[in-house]
A and B are shown apart, each in its own frame.
Chain A
Amino acid sequence: MGETVAEKIFDAHRVDNPAGDIYVLDLDAVFCHEITTPVALNDLARRGKDRVFDPSKIKAVIDHVTPAKDSKTAMQGKILRDWARRHNIEHFFDIGRNGVCHALFPEHGFVRPGYTIIMGDSHTCTHGAFGAFAAGVGTTDLEVGILKGVCAFRYPRSMKIEVTGELAGGVYAKDLILSIIGRLGVNGATDRVIEFAGPAVEAMSMESRMTLCNMAVEAGATSGICYPDMTTVDYLWPFIRDEFDAPEAALANYRKFLPDTDAEYDDIVEIDAAGLAPQVTYGYRPDNVVPVSEMEDTPVDQVYVGSCTNGRLEDLRVAADVLSGHRISDSVRGIVSPATPEVYRRALDEGIIHTFMDAGFCVANPTCGACLGMSCGVIAEGEVCASTTNRNFYGRMGKGGTVHLMSPATAAATAIAGHITDSILYRK
């Protein structure tokens, strides 16, 4: 019987099979940030086990609250920083070099097809865009990952989402994943890996694939996975050129992590991208999804462009295209946070930052605190935020506030109009 991508990765990383369908996997990378890691580090110290399994496989960043906003967050940063120094963790990203983990780590070439990766962050599924098995875990799994380089998972069941056709103009990976979550429900892929396949996914950039995989967890999935192809290899080439003679050789190697043609899936869902309109969420669940046209005229107080979902250069370009030549509504506060210093620098070079500023946006530093109401864009009780982030839970961006999730294009158009609207009105 053929195997899925996740099954191939599990077989290649199996350390133990302690019972039933439980596999203990050897980890290629353990990613850490300052919110979920410090408790693990304190616990290791308390146990007299302040060790790391392999400093070269651990990558750490301060990204949720940076610069620190108070003594508590300063201490979280300090615990991570002191630990990284103590254990010679070379890839530790502090202020000045830091950015949103799920944008920063791929940008530095830390993710490869076939890798196993954990992080104490539910959106770790983002890295499946490279054909990796990447899963969010809790602090205890992270702690064991740091100490032993292993993590236990149930042997994965997979579903395949085959996206045919082409996305229309003004419709993006974000709209596609929102519509998929709307269709599957928040529990629709629990304990399963989603393979995203088909021509519409093959046509996507790595940035778009990361957007797609980023929200797999909102349908309950363990990981979202795209198949490695030349787009993947081209993105990784600066980091792998010493390993392979040519990009084609790299692809030939990575193809071992493609699914077999007779792989078994729990479910295969076909979606036609061509018929898709821009999507937006309502209410407090990410599966409450409707076309933007059904939410037109919903007033918003703040528009946020950024996060591990949509804070990459491609996202900022799309938003700036819409904003160009316009001012945002007087009733709206606009905030953009380029996800990494590299995104910020290139957005400066391309004039994108000027466009945001000319439109009336505040340009924040690379950080992701706004998404979960921790810093840099928290909304007040009763306020509404149009956001390119990934969760609209009650009070997510601030106690008593409401979040509508949407693409960067729709967010930019909404900022200009002052209410939710389709970017078609402002398309050049």
Chain B
Amino acid sequence: MQNFGGSVLFLDRSDINTDEIIPARYLTEISKEALQPHLLEELHLEGFDPASAIVEKQVIVTRSNFGCGSSREHAPWALEVNGIHMVIAESFARIFRQNIFNCGMLAIELPAETIDRIFDEFSEFDTLIYADLEKSVLSVQGGGREAEIAFAISEFDRSLVAAGGWVEYADSHY
């Protein structure tokens, strides 16, 4: 199974929608790679500069209802081609969450107070988060501090990640 984790991009807002993650004008692309320069180009967040913020990040930590709006899988693809394979949030929009696991990537939901704690303790620092899927634990390091946070994903989501995505899973099961 793939390892998930790395340097964290903190996005301190709820309801970040798919148009912000990848604007519709790029939906005319038919390759995932073409989306790479445009991730979070329209994010409505004060002081956010996608060009510098996204560089060398592998994980997003954000608030609730991440990925709401359009069904476009271009949103997880835009993350994927930028090397971001894990999003940690208080909650996700249904289609976005499904798309993430369908791509064999990881969407982890944590309680609001845990997300608050991660923001409070780590968002000011360069932070690393790694997911141990076998133990269902996230290890967080930043600003000289460390934390271990348990998470839960369903058996089905786990098997999608293990299979490498829904196409692989469905093809071998149905």
| Partner-B contacts on A (CB < 8 A) | 15-16, 18-20, 22, 24, 35-36, 38-39, 42-43, 47, 49, 64-65, 70, 72-73, 75-76, 79, 120-122, 124, 136-141, 143-144, 147-148, 150, 152, 186-187, 190-191, 220, 222, 284-285, 372-374, 391, 393-396, 399
In the complex formed, the residue of A with least CB distance to B42 is A395
Report how far A39 CA is from B27 CA in the complex, Å: 10
Q: Which of B25, B167, B173 contacts A47 (CB 8 A)?
A: B167
Measured between beta carbons, the chain A residues less than 8 angstroms from B25 are: 373-374, 399
* In the complex, residue of chain B having the shortest beta-carbon distance to the beta carbon of A222: B94
Cα–Cα distance between A361 and B154 once the two chains are bound (Å): 52
Q: Which residue of the partner chain, among A65, A191, A399, contacts B28 with CB atoms under 8 Å? A: A65
B173: contacting residue among A18, A20, A35, CB under 8 A: A18
Q: Taking CB as reference atom, which chain A residue is nearest B28?
A: A72
- List chain A residues, Cβ under 8 A from B99: 138-141
- Identify A148's interface contact among B20, B23, B72, B174, CB under 8 A: B174
CB of B28 within 8 A of CB of A136, answer no
CB closest residue in chain B, given A221: B94
Given A22-B154, A39-B30, A152-B156, the answer on whether A391 and B23 have CB atoms closer than 8 Å is no
**Known: A138-B73, A141-B102. Contact between A187 and B19, CB under 8 A?**
no
Q: How far is the CB of A282 from chain B (nearest CB, A)?
A: 15
CB–CB B73/A75 < 8 A: no
A372 with B159, Cβ < 8 A, contacts A42-B30, A186-B68, A284-B44 known: no
Q: Report the nearest B residue to A371, measured CB to CB.
A: B24
A–B pairs, 9, beta carbons within 8 Å: A19-B155, A49-B171, A76-B28, A138-B102, A140-B103, A150-B170, A152-B156, A190-B91, A373-B24
Nearest 6 Cβ contacts at the A-B interface: A138-B73, A138-B99, A140-B102, A372-B24, A19-B155, A19-B156
B98 within 8 A of A: yes
Q: How far is the CB of A216 from chain B (nearest CB, A)?
A: 12
Residues from chain B with a CB closer than 8 A to the CB of A190 are 65, 91, 93-94
Contact at A373–B65, with CB atoms within 8 Å?
Answer: no
* B165 & A140 in contact (Cβ 8 Å cutoff): yes
Question: Which residues does chain A contribute within 8 Å of B171, judged by CB atoms?
Answer: 49, 144, 147-148
Q: A122-B95, A140-B73, A152-B98 are in contact. List 20 more A-B contacts (CB 8 A).
A: A16-B174, A19-B155, A35-B72, A36-B27, A70-B28, A72-B29, A137-B71, A137-B95, A138-B73, A138-B102, A141-B166, A144-B170, A144-B171, A147-B167, A187-B14, A190-B93, A391-B69, A393-B17, A394-B42, A399-B23
